[in-house]
Structure 1
């Protein structure tokens, strides 16, 4: 009987640890990266809807400010991490420029390719802080 309770208690602790583990990882991301994550999701919805004008407005508006904030974040980091964040921010900017140009030309395949590069840069940023 006692071993049954121990097994049950062990399962509960493992489940609790897994449940609590996920939010801690997300909370470890800097707010600038969390904001970018939300914006990339919103941008994906606009790409899926082929809302060309809104894609371009979103890139030049909220996402432009986030890129500036990422550069500000880089200044506060250790040298190697700082260089990587700056490089990824530039890569993100170049991908957004390509996406903007493709949206201007109503070129859905190019928009999707550029959006994939934006997502890839975000994934690398998240991995850098994980």
Structure 2
């Protein structure tokens, strides 16, 4: 009979320990935010992205005039450096936005390849449709940037 109270007390201790460990208050973690260093790195590249985005009409006119050499130069010059700048920014975005930013950058690259191929084939319709998609990718990428970076867009 002496053993029953000690086994019962052991079971009660284990049960109390389990209930206390399950009932501890949860600590709310703050959502991830950008550091000053990340914001500075992002803001360093935003003006270059905006300047290329603002040249959308220039590329469209080159395609409409069938000026394929300059279309190729535009794709391999400003648009390629734009893609590189987007890659630099991606590593400084919040982790939840990095995958989407990488996908947008890949999509942009694919559209640039198609524009370049269309220029080689002298296919203005294909070039124009991919030009439109490429600049939509740029706008989608800019939507992922923190608000302090977007304030430079105005």
After TM superposition, the score normalised by the length of structure 1 is 0.69
CA–CA distance in structure 1, aligned partners of residues 72 and 130 of structure 2: 13
Matched, 1:56 2:72: yes
Higher relative helix content: 1
Aligned equivalent of 2:58, options 39, 42, 58: 42
RMSD: 2.1
* Residue correspondence of structure 1 range 103-118 to structure 2 within 5 A: 103-118=119-134
Unaligned runs of 5+ in 2: 1-42
Q: Which residue of 1 aligns with 2:81?
A: 65
| Cα offsets for 1:50-97 (capped at 9, x unmatched) | 211100111112211121111011111101222211111110000000
Where does structure 1 differ by over 2 angstroms across 4 or more consecutive aligned residues?
29-33, 38-42, 126-130
Aligned length: 103
Please tell me whether the aligned partners of residues 52 and 78 of structure 2 are also in contact (alpha carbons under 8 angstroms): no
Unaligned runs of 5+ in 1: 1-26
Please tell me whether the aligned partners of residues 32 and 73 of structure 1 are also in contact (alpha carbons under 8 angstroms): no
CA–CA distance in structure 1, aligned partners of residues 144 and 68 of structure 2: 31
Larger Rg: 2
Q: Which residue of 1 aligns with 2:25?
A: none
CA–CA distance in structure 2, aligned partners of residues 100 and 70 of structure 1: 19
SS at match of 2:93: coil
Please tell me whether the aligned partners of residues 33 and 125 of structure 1 are also in contact (alpha carbons under 8 angstroms): no
| Cα offsets for 1:10-46 (capped at 9, x unmatched) | xxxxxxxxxxxxxxxxx9x932431331243432232
Please tell me whether the aligned partners of residues 36 and 122 of structure 1 are also in contact (alpha carbons under 8 angstroms): no
After TM superposition, the score normalised by the length of structure 2 is 0.59
Q: Which residue of 2 aligns with 1:122?
A: 138
